[in-house]
Amino acid sequence: MGTYTIIVPDNAVLRRVCGTNDSNLKLIENFLGVPVFACGNELSVETGESSSVEEQFRFIIDRILDELSDTSLSVSDEELVQSVLNTGTFTYHKSQSRAFSESAVTIPGGIKKVYPRTQGQAALVKALRTDDIVFACGPAGTGKTFLMVAEALRLVLSHQKNSIVLTRPVVEAGESLGFLPGDLQDKINPYIRPLYDAMNSLLPRDTVRKMTESGIIEVAPLAYMRGRTLNDSVIILDEAQNATCAQMKLLLTRMGEGSKVFVAGDITQIDLPARVPSGLVQALDILEGIDGISFAHLGAQDVVRNPLVKKIIQAYEHED
């Protein structure tokens, strides 16, 4: 009977991993189906003859430690451990010894690893890795744009793709902003800001700035896409519910050799004028079933923002 041990030198962190009365260890133990115990500053698991138990245990503990270091974490320690186990269940297959750790998005030079925290997010990460065009639909706070930005940065900084193209419909949310001063870049920046916020949380700001100045990260308004062919790029369309049918077709047909297109939107928050159909809604209807195109649908259960956001979304869903 073999054992595998991980040392956690910080006692405060160790207590959080173990949980009250070792409640978190019991969750991990039930998931693995083998005894898990703490002694001093060590966490150990009985591996028996199975090498997969050691791999799963190492991934679970490493991921919990990574996530506990995130000061923006808005869930309890028990909820965190449960989410790690839930997404681990989704991504691990006994026939693939390394699949369990592949759910993490590791960005070269990044500030932190990015992990899916729900099964819906794990499904999205899998789609981003396997398909060339991915549509992610879901309410605010489900992490769809954040995961797309993380995967795009991983692909570019690991030299699998050459550039990232960011685009978003220029549509105000319920009010007219009037004339915006400045050049084209100044006018589009307020709409692209959420994408840069995501990048700045994943990479040092200087790195993001240098990538933008060198053209590796490009901001391209939808209205100026016609006539372009984007090769070896990751194209991210955010707030896609506000793209018209013509704009959606225009974007998807800019895709060149070796490129990927990631599309994120929320069909419950369409800001287009009345009687103007959403290109995202049309795409979801007519592109279903095409090889190489996948659709990830996220809901309130996938919200990882402030816990109140999940309750707000559920309340609006109930009202609708």
Per DSSP bridges, beta strands 36-39 and 133-137 are unpaired
Residue type, 194: P
Q: For 182-223, how does the pLDDT look when each residue is reduced to its tens digit (9 = 90+)?
A: 655 666 667 778 899 999 999 999 999 999 999 999 988 887
Smallest CA-to-CA distance from 297 within 191, 167, 138, 164 is with: 138
Q: For 134-168, how does the pLDDT look when each residue is reduced to its tens digit (9 = 90+)?
A: 999 999 889 999 999 999 999 999 999 999 999 98
Residue 47 CA to residue 44 CA, distance in Å, equals 9
Give the chain's mean pLDDT.
84
Residue 40 CA to residue 7 CA, distance in Å, equals 9
Q: State residue 305's pLDDT score.
A: 61
Q: Residue 216 in contact with residue 203, Cβ under 8 Å?
A: no
Q: For 45-64, how does the pLDDT look when each residue is reduced to its tens digit (9 = 90+)?
A: 888 766 678 888 888 888 88
Assess whether pLDDT exceeds 80 at residue 68. Answer: yes
Residue type, 78: E
Residue 171 CA to residue 190 CA, distance in Å, equals 11
Q: What percent of the chain has pLDDT over 90?
A: 43
In a 3-state reduction of DSSP, which class is residue 263? strand
**DSSP-assigned states of every residue in 71-136:** TT--S-HHHHHHHHHHHHHHH-BTTBTTGGGGGSB--TT-SS-B---SHHHHHHHHHHHH-SEEEE
Q: State residue 188's pLDDT score.
A: 66
Residue 48 CA to residue 54 CA, distance in Å, equals 9
Q: For 269-294, how does the pLDDT look when each residue is reduced to its tens digit (9 = 90+)?
A: 898 988 999 999 999 999 988 999 99
CA-to-CA separations, 89 to 32, 99, 228, 263, in angstroms, rounded: 10, 11, 42, 26
